[in-house]
Amino acid sequence: MRLISNAFIFSLLIIVMQSSTTYSKKKTYKTHIKSATYLSEKIELGPGEVVSKPLMDIEFPRGHIGVKSFDIDLVDEQGNSIPLYETYIHHWFALKYDESDDKNISHNPKDNTKPFGGPMLKRNQGTCNDLILPLYWGLGGESRGTISKLPDPFAVEVGNPANITKDWKEKWLFYVMFIDTRGTKNRKSCSECRCDQFNLPKNFYNETHDIHDKPLSHDYKGGIFCCHDKFQCKLRKGLPTPRRKLAIRYQITWVDWNEHQIPVRFYVMDSTDRVKTNGSKTIHDCLVKVI
């Protein structure tokens, strides 16, 4: 599965209500809000280490529902919140995809010996090209204390059978990027993915390509490409710090979908989007650029 670029700096997440839908505030009905708190699979990190990867098929409420809120925290094995100055939450994305559980199909799009069974990413309604910035929920270090609750009668529609590939299942994943800054020479520069603060692999610039699959320029001084999974930030000497296991604790509230709910659409827009036109066709080229 093709996943998105690991950053949305300079991007703006806007939730837009369907303009074609009207409603009256005078309507009264009972909204039975349900709530559940989940814990993701464990993520192991050492001092100065980066984790940047998907967590597939996370727990998520089933059925045709309307999500009212989606809030996360990063916790240790005892359930304690991890301060940002120890592990920086660069970003996390909640992404929707369809997939078949049929054992007779292949999950490799290059395998021509069997029918393809996903995963197939289902992006938001944003304008970015291809699969760039397809997230539904997602934030960075500001996650804690940011309220995501939607007022009645609005909700994010999930699990509508009409929108799911036939005989497949709708699933969700996290795509995360966390940076353990314990013991690093420069916490701030490490969390900003400054290339000179990392022990980069040999031939890094010759072998690394940007989001358009072009060789990375030697003028590239910092950004997501210097924060690949398992990359190591430079550490101070004489400060032994143990590895540890973390997890995403996330709470979702929802209601059963009915005629009283008004669906919310997600639009993620990128300020670096170079909009072009070809006759009557509009072409978007989101660069999701950092330093």
| pLDDT-above-90 percentage for the chain | 55
- Residue 164, token pair as written in the block: 């799911």
Q: What is the 3 state secondary structure string of the chain?
A: CCCCCCCCCCEEEEEEECCCCCCCCCCCCCCCCEEEEEECCCEEECCCEEEEEEECCCCCCCCCEEEEEEEEEEECCCCCECCCCCEEEEEEEEEEEEECCCCCCECCCCCCCCCECCCEEECCCCCCCCCCCCCCEEECHHHCCCCCCCCCCEEEEECCHHHCCCCCEEEEEEEEEEEECCCECCHHHHHCCEHHHECCCCCHHHHCECCCCCECCCCCCECHHHCCCCCEECECCCCCCCCEEEEEEEEEEEEECCCCCEEEEEEEEECCCCCEEECCEEECCCCCCCC
pLDDT at residue 60 is higher than 50: yes
Share of the chain above pLDDT 70, in %: 85
Which is more confident, 254 or 117?
254
Say what the pLDDT of residue 245 is. Answer: 97
* pLDDT surpassing 60 at residue 87: yes
Question: Environment class of residue 14 by beta-carbon count within 10 Å: exposed (0-12), middle (13-18) or buried (19+)?
Answer: exposed
When pLDDT is averaged across residues 50-78 and rounded to a whole number, the result is 96
Residue 123 confidence class, pLDDT cut points 50, 70, 90: confident
Amino acid at 115: P
pLDDT given at position 94: 95
Residue 153 has pLDDT above 70, yes or no: yes
Q: What is the pLDDT of residue 188?
A: 95
Residue 10 has pLDDT above 80, yes or no: no
Q: Is the pLDDT of residue 17 over 60?
A: no
179 contacts 190 by C-beta, under 8 angstroms: yes
**pLDDT exceeds cutoff 60 at 1:** no
pLDDT score, position 110 = 67
Mean pLDDT of 168-177: 95
104 versus 281: the higher-pLDDT residue is 281
**Local confidence band at 4 (pLDDT 50, 70, 90 cut-offs):** very low
Question: Rounded to whole angstroms, how far apart are CA atoms 154 and 254?
Answer: 11
43 closest CA partner among 1, 5, 82, 4: 82
| Residue 5 pLDDT class (50, 70, 90 cuts) | very low
Half-sphere exposure of 123 (CA within 13 A, CB side): 17
Band (pLDDT 50/70/90 cuts) for residue 112 is low
pLDDT for 174 equals: 97
Instruction: List pLDDT tens digits, range 266-277.
Output: 888 777 788 888
Of the candidate ranges 72-86, 101-115, 122-136, the one whose mean pLDDT is the lowest: 101-115
CB within 8 Å of 88: residues ≥ 6 apart: 141, 178, 179, 181, 190, 191
Q: Is the pLDDT of residue 241 over 50?
A: yes
Q: Which residues pair with 72 in a beta bridge?
A: 250
Higher pLDDT: 122 or 254? It is: 254
Structure token digits, residue 15? 């939730």
- What's the pLDDT tens digit per position in 181-225? 999 999 999 999 999 999 999 889 989 988 778 888 889 999 889
Instruction: Identify the band that residue 176 occupies on the pLDDT scale cut at 50, 70 and 90.
Output: very high
> The pTM is what?
0.82
Q: Which long-range contacts link 26-35 to residues 24+ away (Cβ below 8 Å)?
A: 27/153, 27/260, 29/260, 31/152, 31/153, 31/255, 31/260, 32/255, 32/256, 33/68, 33/253, 33/254, 33/255, 34/61, 34/253, 34/254, 34/255, 35/251, 35/252, 35/253, 35/254
Rounded distance between C-alpha atoms, residue 171 and residue 159, angstroms: 9
